[in-house]
A = this chain, B = another copy of it.
Amino acid sequence: MPEGDSSDTTALAMAASQREISISEFFLKNRHLLGFDSPSKALVTTVKEAVDNALDACEEAGVLPEIYVQVSYCGDMFQVIVEDNGPGIVEKQIARIFGKLLYGSKFHKLSQSRGQQGMGISAAGMYGQLTAGKPMHIISRVAGDELASELLVSIDTSRNRPDIHRKKHVPWDRPHGTRVEIEMEGHYQKGSHSIEVYLKQTAIANPHVSLFFRDPHREEIRYSRSTTELPPHPREIKPHPHGIELGHLIQMLSNTPCRTLPLFLEQAFSRVGRKTALEIIERAGKGLSGRSFPKHIAHAQAAALHKAIGRTRISAPRTDCIVPIGEQRLLEGLHKELAAEFYTVVTRRPAVYRGNPFQVEIGIAYGHPGGVGLELDKEGHMHKKKRQTKSAAEELLAKADEPAHLLRFANWVPLLYQQAGCAITKAVIQTNWRAYGLRQSKGALPIAPMAILVHIASVWVPFTSESKEAIAAYPEIVKELKLGLQECGRRLAVHLHRGMRLQREYEKRTYIEKYLPHIGIALQEILELSDDECKHTLNKLDDILHQRRKT
């Protein structure tokens, strides 16, 4: 067979089989990318996506979130229900929000939110449709509307479009809110990758949220809010010029309605005023001026402009686009849900990766109360601590001979899966915990009865996959994480040092108490003291020794 003929027919045959791939088909085949790789994970991911959306909507509307979650058996399948008291969804948007991948309000703006892709909840519906063969059931009511909208929606995966199977108006007892109901294959489990742990960790990072969960065995758990204050609303920002790339700049120049270059620079970017705009243009040269028309700028001019932007001093991005949990709330959350001996929290100042502001928060909870330590009471007396009864909360804290537990959060959302591939894990492993008195093998987490909580807030969190389970290791992010972990580590070292000092003192004290009676007998014999005098002397001696120990 002559080679030419073969490759010729192949080229034609290959051309005939080239086709467009719909985004829904793609994710249906790659459903692990969206967090649906196993039946147990599918349930957790569904609850997570629905609750994240509910919380975003409530906060955007200024409503204190009350979320109801129910997972129940339904023949061979599971039924997941998530209901919120949010603002509700305008009827004509419902089908597209639930029945189309890559549709939403959060992708095109730079502002911190839990959702960012417009995929999660439609993916859950698609998984239900694939495994149980049934559409999603949605009820939503906008405040002021007399009736709620009820829809049955599925996804036409070959075209990534919603199919509406039924639409009607029904009475509903909620004045406003949304309820979504999905039937799917599932496997309900407890443990570190469970709906319960997701909800519990959500409560830690979101103390203004009330969550109610009914599990398949009809057991009910309520996580009540500990504050009625909503977190401040994150502000939407424009891109920072230092994060912009040449190709993006060229595209923006050709799409802008602005008629002059300075106006374009001022309007398209944050932190660029008239003065900075003119400075950039002057530095760029290449015939550019304050009167240049953005749409007519050539490639070489745009490249010069891009370089000039990089060389011009421009203030750091505004940071009110990010809302950290805050040291106070984080500490309260840790105290409320984790019983430990020592807590410390650090909220770093905002930093920037690729033009996107982000902020890192670290919390450490160390030591099982009543574990192995000692404590001083109010009068300064030392005791061995009493062992408390073990609660479910303690599961978040590692045992003394285990690697520390990591609680990872991104934009207030707990991350339960893919710990090994996450920038947070990388930063914890790269931190030298031995310097702070903990055991640690090379390339491993420190061994300690400890939980390390890490929160990254950003206008755009770079997740390693669409399932949003791990954060990509951008160097700027890893650096900030390590600085925060080191700060917490130093504080922990002080605590551990204090603990070790206490331990040594306790041993000395035990010796004193053991030998004091013998000293008493000796003194009594040498100084010929009466019993009362002896007792008095010993008390005085004990006090003096005790005083010295306290200073």
Most buried by B among A8, A11, A87, A251: A11
Q: Which stretch of A21-29, A196-204, A379-387 is in the interface?
A: A21-29
- Would you give the 0/1 interface string for A239-268, flagging 1 where the beta carbon is closer than 8 Å to chain B? 000000111111100000000000000000
Taken residue by residue from 420 to 446, chain A's Cβ proximity to chain B (1 for < 8 Å, 0 otherwise) reads as 110000000000000000000101100
Asked if A320 is an interface residue, CB under 8 A from chain B, the answer is: no
Asked if B418 and A21 sit within 8 Å, CB to CB, the answer is no
Q: A21-B102, A23-B102 are in contact. Are A62 and B248 (CB under 8 A)?
A: no
Does residue A144 face the partner (Cβ distance < 8 Å to B)? yes
Determine if A10 is an interface residue (Cβ-Cβ < 8 Å). yes
CB contacts under 8 Å to B, within A114-158, are: 117-118, 128-134, 142-144, 157
Flag whether A482 is at the interface (Cβ < 8 A).
no
Indicate which residue in B61, B466, B474 contacts A6 across the interface (CB closer than 8 Å).
B61
Q: Is A18 on the interface with B (CB-CB < 8 A)? A: yes
Q: B441 contacts A33, CB within 8 Å? A: no
81-96 of chain A: CB within 8 A of chain B: 86-90, 92-93, 96
Q: Does A462 contact B247, Cβ atoms closer than 8 Å?
A: no
Interface positions, chain A 447-496, Cβ under 8 Å from B, are 460, 462-466, 470, 472, 474
How many copies of this chain?
Answer: 2
| A532: Cβ under 8 A from any B Cβ | no
Q: Contact between B118 and A7 (Cβ–Cβ < 8 Å)?
A: no
A100 to chain B, nearest CB (A): 7
Assess whether A103 is in contact with B134, with CB atoms less than 8 Å apart: no
Interfacial residues of chain A within 1-22, with CB under 8 A of chain B in the complex: 1, 3-8, 10-12, 14-15, 17-22
Among residues of B, the one whose C-beta sits closest to the C-beta of A59 is: B10
The answer to whether B133 touches A250 (Cβ under 8 A) is yes
Contact A421 B10 (CB under 8 A): no
B residues in contact with A463, CB < 8 Å: 30
Query: What residues of chain B lie closer than 8 Å to A474, measured between beta carbons?
Result: 32, 37
The answer to whether B175 and A4 touch across the interface, beta carbons within 8 angstroms, is: yes
Given A10-B57, A18-B104; 20 other pairs, CB 8 A cutoff: A4-B175, A6-B61, A7-B86, A7-B87, A7-B143, A11-B89, A14-B60, A15-B89, A17-B109, A19-B105, A21-B108, A37-B462, A128-B247, A130-B248, A131-B245, A131-B247, A403-B443, A420-B420, A444-B444, A464-B465
20 A-B pairs (CB sep. < 8 Å): A4-B175, A8-B87, A10-B60, A11-B142, A14-B105, A17-B105, A18-B96, A18-B97, A22-B102, A26-B102, A26-B117, A29-B460, A37-B472, A37-B474, A128-B247, A133-B250, A133-B299, A133-B303, A421-B464, A444-B444
Which residues of A pack against B, CB within 8 Å? 1, 3-8, 10-12, 14-15, 17-23, 25-26, 29-30, 32-33, 37, 57, 60-63, 86-90, 92-93, 96-97, 100, 102-105, 107-109, 117-118, 128-134, 142-144, 157, 175-176, 185, 245-251, 299, 302-303, 403, 418, 420-421, 441, 443-444, 460, 462-466, 470, 472, 474
Q: Which 8 A-B pairs have the closest CB atoms?
A: A421-B421, A7-B87, A130-B247, A10-B61, A15-B90, A7-B61, A4-B143, A21-B102
